């Protein structure tokens, strides 16, 4: 199993990353319950080898970016690859509305740069493809900013294989971010395509938002490894494919340290297959 994933000659990251989505308030809206602690969670991740961090302007909106900026400032010598996303508007807690207007996408890239305190974005992902605008129009807007040096790489989120192939005809795509975990693996065909073309597959909700913790098979296997279910679920993802980059999020530094222990777990073939059967 590979411990790292290479995007280009200068960007190789440890595969177990961190996602900022859980840091803002309820419904991914408003500030964190403990705004002073939020950057410290990210700092804990960085201090323990995490160098791939996923965020989005829609998280808060923008609060997650502010927390990430504070963490990066506190760790100025850390080499962290930041991935962010544009393409959603927010009108309240739990409300997400896609908007692919090219002017809006360009504006949000600029806001990401400003709120993150960066001069360029290593990985900019289209949060959702807006069906009201041609895919080419949305990607051309990002392509323009890539030519200006404001974006290094481009990825997509929640797409099909056909959509990915269509996007690749417009510009290089280095990542996809789709929901994928032990009990939801509807995108196996997309993962297979990513493996064949060295495209990073970034699973969101890698822990199924807690739905796995009572599964008897997972609990039994976790006990064998003196681990907790979330560690086993992450270890399974890391073992499933070398192109998978899980980005579990948490509001707790202790929970973050717990998640990171998954890097040191190696599941037997029997246990791996038993977990694989959970989605069948």
Mean pLDDT to the nearest integer, 75-91: 97
Q: Is 193 a known active-site residue?
A: no
Query: What single string gives the DSSP state of each residue in 184-198?
Result: B-TTHHHHHHHHHHT
pTM metric for this prediction: 0.96
Q: What are the phi and psi torsion angles at 92 (to 5°)?
A: 165, 180
Active-site residue among 59, 88, 133, 205?
59
Domains, the chain, in order of start with CATH, read 4-209+244-249 (3.20.20.100)
Is residue 10 exposed (0-12), middle (13-18) or buried (19+ Cβ within 10 Å)?
exposed
Mean pLDDT to the nearest integer, 187-210: 93
Distance of alpha carbon 108 from alpha carbon 102, whole angstroms: 10
**Which pLDDT tens digit goes with each residue over 4-40?**
999 999 999 999 999 999 999 999 999 999 999 999 9
Distance of alpha carbon 59 from alpha carbon 76, whole angstroms: 23
């Amino acid at each position: 199993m590979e411990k790292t994933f290479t995007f280009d000659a200068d960007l190789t990251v440890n595969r177990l990353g961190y996602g900022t989505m859980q840091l803002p308030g309820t419904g991914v809206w408003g500030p964190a319950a403990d705004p002073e602690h939020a950057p410290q969670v990210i700092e804990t991740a960085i201090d323990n080898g995490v160098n791939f961090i996923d965020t989005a302007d829609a998280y808060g909106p923008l609060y997650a970016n502010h927390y990430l900026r504070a963490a990066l400032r506190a760790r100025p010598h850390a080499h962290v690859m930041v991935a962010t996303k544009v393409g959603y508007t927010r009108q309240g807690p739990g409300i997400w509305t896609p908007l692919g207007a090219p002017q809006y996408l360009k504006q949000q890239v600029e806001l990401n740069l400003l709120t993150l305190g960066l001069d360029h974005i290593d990985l900019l992902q289209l949060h959702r493809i807006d069906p009201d605008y041609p895919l080419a129009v949305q990607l051309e807007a990002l392509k323009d900013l890539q030519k200006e040096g404001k974006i290094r790489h481009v990825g997509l989120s929640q797409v099909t294989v056909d959509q990915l192939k269509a996007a690749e005809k417009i510009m290089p795509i280095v990542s996809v971010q789709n929901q994928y975990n032990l009990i939801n693996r509807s995108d196996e065909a997309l993962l297979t395509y990513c493996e064949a073309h060295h495209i990073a597959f970034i699973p969101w909700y890698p822990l199924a938002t807690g739905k796995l913790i009572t599964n008897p098979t997972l609990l039994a296997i976790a006990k064998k490894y003196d681990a907790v279910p979330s560690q086993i679920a992450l270890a399974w993802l890391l073992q499933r494919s070398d192109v998978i980059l899980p980005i579990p999020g948490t509001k707790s530094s202790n929970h973050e340290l717990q998640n990171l222990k998954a890097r040191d777990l190696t599941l037997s073939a029997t246990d791996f297959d038993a977990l694989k059967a959970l989605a069948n």
